[in-house]
Amino acid sequence: MNIFYEESGQFKVAAVVQKNDATYQADTQHGKRTKVKAANVFVEFDTPMGAFLAQAQAEAAEIDTDLLWEVCGEEEFSAEAIAEEYFGHAPAKTELAATLIALYAAPMYFYKKAKGIFKAAPEETLKQALAAVERKKQQDAQIEAWSEALKQGEMPSEIAADLKTILHAPDKQAPTYKAFTKAADALKLAPLALAMQTGGVASIPQYLRDGFEVKHFPKGTAFADMPVPALPALPQAAVQAFSIDDEDTTEVDDALSVTDLGNGAKRVGIHIAAPALAVASGSAIEKTIMERLSTVYFPGGKITMLPDNWIAAFSLDAGGHRPAVSIYFDVDADFNISAPVHKIEAVYIAENLRIQAIEPHFNAETGLDAEGQAMFNHHQDLIWLHRFATARQKARGKYEPDRAPQYDYGIGLNEDGSVAVSRRERGSPIDTLVSEMMILANSTWAQMLDENGLPGLFRVQPGNSKVRMSTQSEPHSGMGVQHYGWFTSPLRRAADYINQKQLLSLINSEAEPLFHSNDTALFAALRDFDAAYTAYADFQRKMESYWSLVYIRQQALKELKATLLKEDLVRIDGLPLAVRATGIPFDALPKSQLLLAVAEVDADKQFIALNYLKMLPPAA
């Protein structure tokens, strides 16, 4: 005697060796001895096993599943009953087996309720299930078509539209992702390599920027239409101010003015762009500021915090009166300063001085002599401001005339695709006078908030701790001031916008502060700004590192000078690049000067191999 039974969803046959009430001992078609539960056996038969199963499977293939479902009715039914209904007579054993195979093979049509007992799926449920199967079938065909196109070097438009997320934030259930990874696996390519091969990614900078935007600008970098509201007329300042910025600066946040008071005294005005005057609490533009949090800078471009029309309305561009928050100090001949005066006003911007244009005539070697010939507009103002700035450094205990020169390096991109490296000395006369005027404004306004019990976003460094953000003012030992916050870049940083809102409420009694003490929203704003500012800086460093590698390759540099930071981490001299090198002596001290050999550089893989050659004498 043989049996037809079900095991793990599959129908099998076996020859019975021994039978009892609960189980069968049987030999399978392949001669394996097995134990089969009686509850899993549907048919006993005495014809050859192989022929029985083959015939049942053939008959099952002929069964019309839709017709079988139609004759089932709405009540539960047995396999025997529906087989008799379908075939029109008491079913033969192979017909019963065929019916069981057909019922098990169509779980969308038939629900298994018990051994040999089923229930037909409701019509609406069945329609939905069949539609889902058809959609899946069509989707699989589409995935296959996309995959084949990719393998042929083509980029389907649907894949291109999703490529940023496929590469940087994949939804592994998305058809486009499945097609892309299927093609990459078939070609044995990394996802980035396939994207570049098919034209979806044109360059590594694009790839890096796409990844950054997917994470930090998931809605894209374009702005919604946000008109600038009309401002009430502001009193016009009795000064003509000038700004000092890099030639590519488009967001001019700050400007200065110098008024001669006679007897060696001057009135210094520090004027800051005032977008907060037009930003209503809870408005679309404020939400944008709190979402973007800062302008993002990288070689060859930037992503601004504010839309172009807002920048145009509030940037301190030359040739007109611009809304500003001003702070004035009267400075006597010995550089002692008066109490500050704060104003909300329209300031006439007479000049946008560009560092690249004026620095050749105003540097540590030349252009600082008050008796010399003025080489550009406001040259004499800058000479006096530099003397005043030096006095401010001394007052803060930060005057270091014998400090070794330090430089910051920037990356620029030429039209021909070559990389240009710029060098700027920290503590140059221009750097000194601008930074000291901003420190004066920032520290004074931070003190003003603190003395009036208003919170803000302060920069603090009590003792020898690390600099951090805080909602309460504390000393900043690195600056040598008791209070410090960012106020002077409100077109570019949300922290400065928040602080400007707080400041306006003190200057204008009718204005409301944005936050009050212990406001949880301010703590959240601090957290979000700190995280975004760090992430944006990391992105800028990553882009600068890539272009530094391109520069090394373009210049065919074989050796590089470097400064040891720690262990095997070095900073390459003359480039904004920190990387690791091999072979550095274990006893080499941080700040040691090294000569390194360039063993390999691959900018596309963001990789450089550097080998230690020798120690160099300390930098002069």
pLDDT at 429 over 70: yes
How large is the average pLDDT for residues 141-156? 94
Share of the chain above pLDDT 70, in %: 100
Q: How confident is the model at residue 329 (pLDDT cuts 50, 70, 90)?
A: very high
Q: How confident is the model at residue 153 (pLDDT cuts 50, 70, 90)?
A: very high
Task: Provide the sign of the torsion angle of the four alpha carbons 299, 305, 310, 313, taken in this order.
Answer: negative
Angle between helices 494-507 and 429-451 (to 10 degrees): 50
**What is d(CA 176, CA 155) in angstroms, rounded to the nearest whole number?**
11
Q: Which one, of 440, 348, 320, lies nearest residue 389 by Cα? A: 440
CA angle 516, 520, 525 (to 5 degrees): 90
The predicted pLDDT at position 620 comes to 57
Quick check: 368 and 362 in contact, CB under 8 A? yes
Q: List, for residues 53-62, the tens digit of each pLDDT value.
A: 999 999 999 9
Quick check: 504 and 511 in contact, CB under 8 A? yes
Q: Which one, of 47, 71, 55, 56, lies nearest residue 6 by Cα? A: 56
Q: List, for residues 311-323, the tens digit of each pLDDT value.
A: 999 999 999 999 9
How large is the average pLDDT for residues 109-126? 92
Q: How confident is the model at residue 364 (pLDDT cuts 50, 70, 90)?
A: confident
Q: List, for residues 73-86, the tens digit of each pLDDT value.
A: 889 999 999 999 99
Q: How confident is the model at residue 367 (pLDDT cuts 50, 70, 90)?
A: confident
The predicted pLDDT at position 510 comes to 83
How large is the average pLDDT for residues 366-394? 92
Residue 146: which H helix or E strand, with range?
A: helix 123-151
The predicted pLDDT at position 135 comes to 86
Q: List, for residues 393-417, the tens digit of each pLDDT value.
A: 999 999 988 888 888 899 989 888 8
How large is the average pLDDT for residues 282-295? 96
pLDDT at 380 over 90: yes
- Phi then psi for residue 422, to 5 deg, are -105, 150
How large is the average pLDDT for residues 310-336? 97
Q: How far is CA 613 from the centre of its chain?
A: 38
How large is the average pLDDT for residues 14-24? 93
Q: List, for residues 501-539, the tens digit of each pLDDT value.
A: 999 999 998 888 999 988 999 999 999 999 999 999 999
The predicted pLDDT at position 44 comes to 95
Place of tokens 């449920």: 125
Q: Which amino acid is at 337?
A: I
